[in-house]
Amino acid sequence: MTAPLSRDTARSPLSSVATTDRLVSLDILRGLALFGVMAINVVFEFRVSLFRQFLPATTTHEAGTIFFAGSWSQEMADLLWTIIGDSHFNRAIEDGLARAVSMKAFALFSLLFGVGLAMQFDRIAPERRVTLLIRRLLVLLAIGILHLTLLWNGDILTEYAIAGLIALPFLFAPGWLVLASGLALLGLYFTGWLIHMLPLPSSAWMMQHVADAAHIYADGNFSQTLVFRLSEISAIAPLHLWIFPRTLGLFLAGIVIWRSGVLRDTPDHRIVLLLTALAALAVTIDAGSSLATVSLALAYGALILSAASTTWGVRLLGWAAPVGRMTFTNYLMQSVIFSIVFYGYGLGLFGRLSVSLALGIGMVVYAIQAIASWCWLKIFQFGPIEWLWRSLMYNKLQPLRLQLPS
């Protein structure tokens, strides 16, 4: 079920972690978490302005939504309205994503990033840990800034790189300090204090901005879109600052979870994972939105890991493992594809697709990525961006093709 994780103390400090040193269950979890991130990004951030979700809901159909001209029967017209218009069907999908997936997928990713940091720390020779991990996070920061400015300002890589640099000293700290600091940061997030200290722009500004975005993103060329995207960054910044304590707190929680040993051998800890999932679901029932974000993410993660630690679970969910091994590549490729689909320098569908159609496009993209990832990893050890990241981290080109047995 899981690949061996024994640490090779004789490994050269300049060599990267072998691809056999993997946990399949974690790859599956990353792959499924990426689906949740994709669904939220395509529905709430690529399809329409990010700020639209902070405005009062309306019952009229979205301006600019694509409809088909021609003569239709009433039954066909009703069906088209259900799928394309602002129907109960679309509103139910949007509400379901907001309640069950939205920030939970990102919280799960934050936990996984913390786990990944701790795994890297354990696997790198002690004398090279600081240098290599700082370089790894600085490379992530550089890629994140390029992604943020040139492709899409909903980027999470930049925030993760900064939070990772802050979390780095905690990898040398005792477990009680990591746990206490993580809980304190999550407590700060739960209070909502930063929301009051760093408010969003006024409703009037957001209404005007949503209208401007509908015009520029749908019809503007690349340079116009770039200028508008850069102008949005200062308005989006409070959103990142609101959740930064949660991001950093979950990084530290991920470190604690890795150190606990549960993830090293999930089949032996299946009961612990199931009990964790049940406890997290119980907490979610009466939790506020902030706490529910974290508790539900923890429940999802524990349930998926428990399932993926069984033979039937791997058969059912194993298709997601290649996606998880290439999460970095797939995340960036989704931004490239969705920017072409929604922005004016591509198909210009921004503000013109319903929730269900946009989600359908996202699911097709994800399915193609799952197939492409499986095919790619039959030949290569890493995804192309993962390979670049590793090579820059170690300051040496890493072997890319799989080493076939002689």
According to the model, what pLDDT value does residue 15 have? 40
According to the model, what pLDDT value does residue 405 have? 63
> C-alpha dihedral over 375, 378, 381, 387, to 10 degrees?
-20
What number of H helices and E strands is found in the chain?
Answer: 17, 0
Residues 41-55 as b or e (16 or more Cβ within 10 Å = b): bbbbbbbbbbbbbee
Spatial neighbors of 242 by CB under 8 A, at least 6 apart, are 189, 194, 195, 198
According to the model, what pLDDT value does residue 73 have? 55
Strand partners, 401: 380
Count the alpha carbons within 13 Å of 116 in the hemisphere toward its beta carbon.
20
According to the model, what pLDDT value does residue 22 have? 67
**Tokens 């997936």 correspond to what residue?**
101
Question: Residue ranges per domain, the chain?
Answer: 24-56+77-394
Encode 213-281 in three state secondary structure: HHHHHHHCCHHHHHHHHHHHHHHHHHHHHHHHHHHHHHHHHHHHHHHHCHHHHHHHHHHHHHHHHHHHH
According to the model, what pLDDT value does residue 57 have? 57
Strand partners, 380: 401
Spatial neighbors of 317 by CB under 8 A, at least 6 apart, are 28, 32, 304, 307, 308
> C-alpha dihedral over 333, 46, 296, 96, to 10 degrees?
-130
Residue 91 in tokens: 């509103």
Residue-wise DSSP of 33-77: HHHHHHHHIIIIIISS-GGGGGSPP-SSPPTT-----S---HHHH
Q: What's the rounded Cα separation, in Å, for the pair 293 and 310?
A: 27
User: What SS3 state is found at 401?
Assistant: strand
Asked if 256 and 179 touch (Cβ cutoff 8 Å), the reply is yes
According to the model, what pLDDT value does residue 64 have? 41
Tens place of pLDDT for every residue, the chain, 406 residues?
333 333 333 333 344 444 444 689 999 999 999 999 999 999 999 999 999 888 875 433 443 444 444 444 555 545 444 455 667 888 889 899 988 898 899 999 999 999 999 999 999 999 999 999 999 999 999 999 999 999 999 999 999 999 999 999 999 999 999 999 999 999 999 998 888 888 888 888 988 999 999 999 999 999 999 999 999 999 999 999 999 999 999 999 999 999 999 998 889 999 999 999 999 999 998 888 899 999 999 999 999 999 999 999 999 999 999 999 999 999 999 999 999 999 999 999 999 898 999 999 999 999 999 999 999 999 999 999 999 999 999 999 999 998 766 5
Which residue type is seen at 39? A
According to the model, what pLDDT value does residue 87 have? 73
According to the model, what pLDDT value does residue 17 have? 42
Residue 186 in tokens: 């999550």
User: What SS3 state is found at 262?
Assistant: helix
Q: What's the rounded Cα separation, in Å, for the pair 213 and 342?
A: 12
Q: What's the rounded Cα separation, in Å, for the pair 383 and 330?
A: 9
Asked if 29 and 325 touch (Cβ cutoff 8 Å), the reply is no
Please name which of 270, 260, 368, 365 lies closest in space to residue 312, comparing C-alpha atoms: 270
Residues 361, 362, 364, 365: is their CA dihedral positive or negative?
A: positive
